[in-house]
Amino acid sequence: MRLKPEQLRRQLQQETLPLYWLAGDEPLLMQESADMIRGHFRDQGFLEREVFSVDRAFNWEHVNAAYGNLSLFAERKILDIRLSSSKLDEDGKNALQAAIAESSSDVVILVSSPRLESGTLNTKWFKAIEAGGAFVQIWPVNRDGLPTWLEQRLLSAGIQADPDALQLLLDKIEGNLLAAMQEIEKLKLLANSDGSGPVRLDSKTVMQTVADSSRYNAFQLVDAALLGDVARTQKILAGLKAEETFPLVILGSITRELRSLLPMIEKRQSGQGVNAILQSSRVWFNRKQAVGSALNRLTIEDIWSLLDQAREIDQAIKGMSLANPWDELGILLARIAGKAPALTS
């Protein structure tokens, strides 16, 4: 079965499944869900846990042996399988399918992996695993949902933040929920509350105590540009530059997105509706707003012009021109956001 993270606790209380698969790229939310599963089964008597870190050289016979190696007096156990990649080899697929088929009441498998692509979710082998176990796709908290998430976490810690403090804290921790929780714990200690009521948090306190731990990636950068948010785009780009991200990685994400937009824009210009295009193109739900905004704003001619500029940036990154790649990336992203004039030849 496929579950949302908020449905996981109820499912655990209702029945025991042989396998739980958590997939996502947000470390804190992945950790919390895994801790929930491990804690639940520990309370149910699964006191032994074996951890397997799976890479390309991993031998799945270790998992098969651990699954079948239960003596009469053995503890019930959890097999904690941590995948470094979202792609499994045939041995891995067979091992997990076999575990589902055998379904021992004394063994539960917990799989943790990076986010799975839609192509994997639609394969026959994965559907077989999903039919017998639970699959939880864990998405990062998006920018629109982050204020509510952060406010709830603060309130749970006994902290009430005024609007300015909340916004400042958001700017400092965006994209890094682990850092957010660490800062909340630090704020609790600094507040030194006597427990008589919630602690009030103002912007001055945030400025004095909270480090800038915001973390971004190229996907967030592209989505900000597609949404037309040029200020946020430039902020994320500056953050990636400060983290010494190789600019070719960023350019690759941009050009892939531009090429994927081409057939969608052609459909829009032929008269198809944006919602129908997003559906037929299998755009993820959490990206529909960004992609839809770009479809309404960009033309085929815009895309080819942007790709031509991207080619020139590629040459600059490789030292074939004197242009500054970071400056050129900023201009390219501003053009995608619709907030910069077209380049002149």
Q: Measured between alpha carbons, how far is 22 from 20 in angstroms, rounded to an integer?
A: 7
Query: In Å, how far are 92, 132, 173, 198, 221 from 318, measured between CA atoms?
Result: 39, 50, 33, 55, 22
What's the confidence (pLDDT) of residue 340?
A: 66
Q: Does residue 125 share a domain with residue 28?
A: yes
Higher pLDDT, 227 or 175: 227
Range of the domain at 192: 146-209
Q: Measured between alpha carbons, how far is 196 from 193 in angstroms, rounded to an integer?
A: 8
Q: What is the CATH number of the domain that holds 168?
A: 1.10.8.60
Q: Does residue 124 share a domain with residue 31?
A: yes
Single pTM value for the model: 0.60
Per-residue pLDDT tens digits for 179-211: 788 888 777 776 555 555 567 777 777 777 676
- Whether residue 343 lies inside any domain: the answer is no
Q: Does residue 131 share a domain with residue 7?
A: yes
Looking at 122, 138, 154, the residue that finishes a domain is 138
Residue 87 has pLDDT above 80, yes or no: yes
Q: Measured between alpha carbons, how far is 22 from 322 in angstroms, rounded to an integer?
A: 46
Q: What is the 3-state secondary structure (H, E, C) of 50-99?
A: EEEEECCCCCCHHHHHHHHCCCCCCCCEEEEEEECCCCCCHHHHHHHHHH
Contact between 31 and 136 (Cβ < 8 Å): no
Q: Ranked by mean pLDDT, which of 44-53, 193-202, 251-260 comes out on top? A: 251-260
Q: Ranked by mean pLDDT, which of 50-59, 67-76, 97-106, 179-188 comes out on top? A: 50-59
Q: Does residue 154 share a domain with residue 122?
A: no
Q: Does residue 175 share a domain with residue 116?
A: no
- Whether residue 321 lies inside any domain: the answer is yes
Q: Measured between alpha carbons, how far is 230 from 331 in angstroms, rounded to an integer?
A: 10
- Whether residue 33 lies inside any domain: the answer is yes
Averaged pLDDT for residues 305-321: 92
Higher pLDDT, 2 or 254: 254
What's the confidence (pLDDT) of residue 100?
A: 83
Q: Measured between alpha carbons, how far is 216 from 174 in angstroms, rounded to an integer?
A: 8
What's the gap between Cα 165 and its chain centre? 26
What's the gap between Cα 339 and its chain centre? 28
Q: Does residue 187 share a domain with residue 66?
A: no
